[in-house]
Chains A and B, each alone.
Chain A
Amino acid sequence: MNFVSYEVGDFYDELLTDAKAARPGACHLLHSIESLPPGEFARRQVAAERALMQMGITFNVYGEQAGVEKIFPFDIVPRIVSAAEWTWLEKGLKQRIRALNLFIDDLYHEQKILKDGVVPRAIILSAQSYRQQCIGWEPPQGIWCHITGTDLVRHSDGQIYVLEDNLRCPSGVSYVLQNRQVMKSLFPKIFAAAKVRPVQNYPLKLRDMLEYLAPETVATPRVVLLTPGIYNSAYFEHSFLAQQMGVELVEGRDLVVEDGQVLMRTTQGFERVDVIYRRIDDDFLDPKCFRPDSMLGVPGLMEAYKAGNVALANAPGTGVADDKVVYAYVPRIVKYYLGEDIIVPNVPTYICAEEQDLRYTLENLDKLVVKAANESGGYGMLVGPHATKEQRAEFAEKVKAHPRNYIAQPTLALSRVPTICADHLEGRHVDLRPYILYGKEIFVLPGGLTRVALKKGSLVVNSSQGGGSKDTWVLADTPAFEPESANGAAQPVTNGRFP
């Protein structure tokens, strides 16, 4: 396979410059791809898919017959992030998480930020994920958002932006680990030469972080992972992470609260649980505190939590910082708590609750992406440039009726990475979700889930809508990072081949 007919187009390509030279750190990879015998690269793609199927790395498809499991499509051309760029990103993500944690803590205590009018009180009080019940709660070690998966995108201007903060139960990290496993076995030589930073210690870091949250009186904490069960689309990930961490995978019905202690039913009687990594939304955690009809949760869990007898990650109430309108205020939130300018910027966002932004949004619907504040997975969204006039008019009515529920952003031209299309390579749009753990310190996993829209021209990377994934190589050392200028340090190419 070669890059002779490959087109970079009007987009930022993560591996090649506009002049089709290799970006720093990608040279060896691109050269290796070109020097493989014909057909070999495509053969390894097939081998990768087979390996994933056999390892049972599948997700459940909702709405289809029971037992239908599919693999999350995987493309073997990795995305490369240079060491310098990663250093910058890591710093930015740590800053963001630290500020968001202070923000959540403030919201459930003094609400200084509301009193100072930096974030409008009405926005918070009307956020679906704001939990009155959590006011005054003190999560262990003062940490609310222990596990975050921040979605990043790069626009054609070369700049990386934060697109979304996922502070509830971000999923996908199991694919990061499994993709890496497959890549290492398929390309051991290329991999070794590239000096890629490891991701395999994630389960260990996760367990360390969870144990750090245990009540101080407990010498050897019992950590469990709470799953909604086998019909959840992320069940594979739950069972994989439990296995990799060496902790029990429990369902709500395995747990019971007695005298303010959380206990799990074992064949030898009840045993105490100290830390719960919950993969269930706040709403379903405890029917006595949140939704009374929840069958997935544990009655009385919140009482045990408030008494400090059990830790929950992430802390209930964290989701308020996940609201898409709150997102728009994050640069101001960072400034307010840390006194710093934000490092990794937000996508410019119009807040429909604000008069001026609303007018701009309605006048420019054909250029904007409009999102509902509390939806995810690509639902409740209008992509202006791709919508019909009728769809835009219909959406405008919805926005006018509930401006609080909407934000608008310019349509981004997501960056691309070469991707296998039958027997050749074409550019496909990607995003990037790094995973951040907040325990004793903040740890950013050097890597992350690169999701790729496999359909030509598509910008939707969600697995439910034809998305796949790639391995993300964060390099241990590469030439100094320079924001990509027209004639950067990249090497020129001859005949589309790399020297």
Chain B
Amino acid sequence: MLSRVADSVYWMSRYIERAENVARFVDVNLQLLLDAPEGQDQQWDPLVAITGDYAEFGRRYGAATESSVIQFLTFDSDNPNSILSCVRAARENARSVREIISSEMWLQLNRFYLMMNSAAQEPGGLDHHEGFYDEVKQAGHLFSGITDATMTQGEAWHFSRLGRMLERADKTSRILDVKYFLLLRSAEDVGTPLDDLQWAAVLRSASAFEMYRKRQGRISPRGVVDFLMLDREFPRAVQFCLLAARDSLHAISGTPPGTFRHGSEKLLGQLCSDLSFAGVDEVIQHGLHEYLDELQTKLNQVGLGIIETFFAFKTPHPGKKAARSAAQ
């Protein structure tokens, strides 16, 4: 398939997943604040720190308050990672590949876009829009469900899943980071009932609460990290996402599993092994934040490698004759 088309399908899925996850960040913070003890300051700047450009935010908004952060992450069209910007970008990408995706996918994406546009224009913002972030999550789920149910699971679909899974792995790790930032501020709370409540909120925002209960039972920081990072069967766990991304990458390149032909395959394979053989205690000992930080850096490299290998090559390789693929 055309590189540009693969590029668009990949980013279409990534942006939808990103929009959904930004909604999860905001939601987890709102949940945590509901449980915060009286007198404790609201903490919104960590959200900006891990999702957006801190300097850019400071320059335009000044102090991080509930309303400024929510505006920045939800409706700010100058922030390329706001939910509104992500949905718009996803739709632009989808428009350029309308002949590749199913019409149901297009319809759902268009509906999502119209919903975001009308919410952005509501007077009074989200004050009277209860459950808005749930709607965003729902719209994201619906899109990926429709994608899996209506799109031929060939090369284009694999690019779509690759984008979605890499994005989700990155964002699940960042959801854990939100809690980390809050922990820093309130080290004395560790192990208290408040701490438990906060970890439960983290799980909920990754739609992981019930699934965690079945797997781990009692809520503990160790258990939550183990589950969200290393579980191989929970579809939002980092390990699960990376394994799925790896499968799609190999399906696209045709390289047998366990081997590699280009940089992104190698890196992603290594990352999967690292996680497979990492114990949760090592992760915690290493420092959760540092571990997550390294993971995110590697994920970025995988993403750049994919762009380089499949989308952005500029000139034909010297001496290599152009292949003529079989008649379509």
Partner of A229, one of B91, B96, B328: B96
Decide yes or no whether B255 CB sits under 8 A from chain A. Answer: no
Contact string against B for A residues 259-270, beta-carbon threshold 8 Å, 1 for contact and 0 otherwise: 001011111111
Given contacts A67-B113, A222-B324, contact A267 B1 (CB under 8 A): yes
Decide yes or no whether A243 CB sits under 8 A from chain B. Answer: yes
25 inter-chain pairs at a CB distance below 8 angstroms, sorted by A residue, are: A55-B103, A56-B103, A67-B88, A220-B327, A229-B96, A230-B96, A239-B98, A239-B99, A242-B99, A246-B328, A248-B2, A250-B4, A251-B4, A254-B2, A258-B322, A265-B2, A265-B4, A266-B1, A266-B2, A266-B325, A267-B6, A269-B323, A270-B323, A271-B324, A272-B324
CA distance A229 to B325 in the complex (A): 25
Q: Are B322 and A272 in contact (CB under 8 A)?
A: yes
Q: Are B3 and A267 in contact (CB under 8 A)?
A: yes
**Docked complex: B68-123 residues within 8 A CB-CB of A:** 88, 91-92, 95-96, 98-99, 103, 106-107, 113
Q: Are A230 and B95 in contact (CB under 8 A)?
A: yes
Given contacts A56-B98, A229-B96, A263-B316, contact A268 B323 (CB under 8 A): yes
CA distance A26 to B322 in the complex (A): 56
Q: Are A268 and B325 in contact (CB under 8 A)?
A: yes
For chain A, what secondary structure do more than half of its interface residues adopt (helix, strand, loop), or is it mixed? mixed
**Nearest CB of A to B301, in Å:** 19
**Nearest CB of A to B110, in Å:** 8
CA distance A240 to B98 in the complex (A): 9
**Nearest CB of A to B270, in Å:** 23
Decide yes or no whether A253 CB sits under 8 A from chain B. Answer: yes
CA distance A268 to B325 in the complex (A): 9
Contact string against A for B residues 282-326, beta-carbon threshold 8 Å, 1 for contact and 0 otherwise: 000000000000000000000000000011011111001011110
**Docked complex: A215-263 residues within 8 A CB-CB of B:** 220, 222, 229-230, 235, 239-240, 242-243, 246, 248-251, 253-254, 256, 258, 261, 263
Residues of B within 8 A of A268 (CB): 323, 325
Decide yes or no whether B252 CB sits under 8 A from chain A. Answer: yes
Q: Specify which of A246, A265, A271, A272 lies most central, judged by the most chain B CB atoms within 10 Å of its CB.
A: A265
Residues of A within 8 A of B107 (CB): 54
CA distance A411 to B284 in the complex (A): 84
Contacts A242-B99, A258-B322, A261-B322 aside, 11 further interface pairs with beta carbons under 8 A come to A66-B88, A220-B327, A229-B96, A239-B99, A254-B2, A267-B311, A269-B323, A270-B322, A271-B322, A271-B324, A271-B325
**Nearest CB of B to A52, in Å:** 13
Residues of A within 8 A of B88 (CB): 66-67
A227 to chain B: closest residue by CB: B96
Residues of A within 8 A of B313 (CB): 265
Residues of A within 8 A of B315 (CB): 256, 258
CA distance A246 to B328 in the complex (A): 8
Binding site for B on A (CB under 8 A): 54-56, 66-67, 220, 222, 229-230, 235, 239-240, 242-243, 246, 248-251, 253-254, 256, 258, 261, 263-272
Residues of A within 8 A of B3 (CB): 254, 265-267
**Nearest CB of B to A449, in Å:** 22
Q: Are B91 and A67 in contact (CB under 8 A)?
A: yes
**Nearest CB of A to B303, in Å:** 16
**Nearest CB of B to A444, in Å:** 27
CA distance A222 to B322 in the complex (A): 13
Residues of A within 8 A of B1 (CB): 266-267
Q: Are A250 and B99 in contact (CB under 8 A)?
A: no
Given contacts A256-B315, A268-B323, contact A249 B252 (CB under 8 A): no
Q: Are B91 and A267 in contact (CB under 8 A)?
A: no
**Nearest CB of A to B176, in Å:** 33
Residues of B within 8 A of A261 (CB): 322
Decide yes or no whether B155 CB sits under 8 A from chain A. Answer: yes
Residues of B within 8 A of A229 (CB): 96
**Nearest CB of B to A411, in Å:** 41
B158 to chain A: closest residue by CB: A267
Given contacts A264-B2, A266-B2, A269-B323, contact A230 B92 (CB under 8 A): yes
Q: Specify which of B92, B96, B99, B313 lies most central, judged by the most chain A CB atoms within 10 Å of its CB.
A: B99
Residues of B within 8 A of A253 (CB): 4
Residues of A within 8 A of B320 (CB): 269
Residues of A within 8 A of B328 (CB): 246
Residues of B within 8 A of A256 (CB): 314-316
Residues of A within 8 A of B314 (CB): 256
A222 to chain B: closest residue by CB: B324
Q: Are B95 and A249 in contact (CB under 8 A)?
A: no
Residues of B within 8 A of A272 (CB): 322, 324
Residues of A within 8 A of B252 (CB): 267
**Nearest CB of B to A157, in Å:** 45
Q: Are B106 and A56 in contact (CB under 8 A)?
A: yes
CA distance A67 to B95 in the complex (A): 10
A253 to chain B: closest residue by CB: B4
**Nearest CB of A to B60, in Å:** 22
Residues of B within 8 A of A240 (CB): 99
Q: Are A250 and B2 in contact (CB under 8 A)?
A: yes
Residues of A within 8 A of B324 (CB): 222, 271-272
CA distance A209 to B316 in the complex (A): 30
B309 to chain A: closest residue by CB: A267
Residues of B within 8 A of A249 (CB): 99
Q: Are B310 and A267 in contact (CB under 8 A)?
A: yes
**Nearest CB of A to B289, in Å:** 36
Residues of A within 8 A of B96 (CB): 229-230
B6 to chain A: closest residue by CB: A267
**Nearest CB of B to A378, in Å:** 28
A241 to chain B: closest residue by CB: B99
Residues of B within 8 A of A67 (CB): 88, 91, 113
B95 to chain A: closest residue by CB: A230
CA distance A266 to B323 in the complex (A): 10
Q: Are B322 and A263 in contact (CB under 8 A)?
A: yes
B318 to chain A: closest residue by CB: A258
B99 to chain A: closest residue by CB: A243
**Nearest CB of B to A211, in Å:** 11
Residues of B within 8 A of A220 (CB): 327
**Nearest CB of B to A240, in Å:** 8
Partner of A254, one of B4, B99, B317: B4
Q: Are A269 and B92 in contact (CB under 8 A)?
A: no
**Nearest CB of A to B323, in Å:** 6
CA distance A267 to B155 in the complex (A): 9
CA distance A372 to B157 in the complex (A): 50
CA distance A250 to B159 in the complex (A): 18
Q: Are B323 and A258 in contact (CB under 8 A)?
A: no
**Nearest CB of B to A216, in Å:** 16
**Nearest CB of B to A15, in Å:** 35
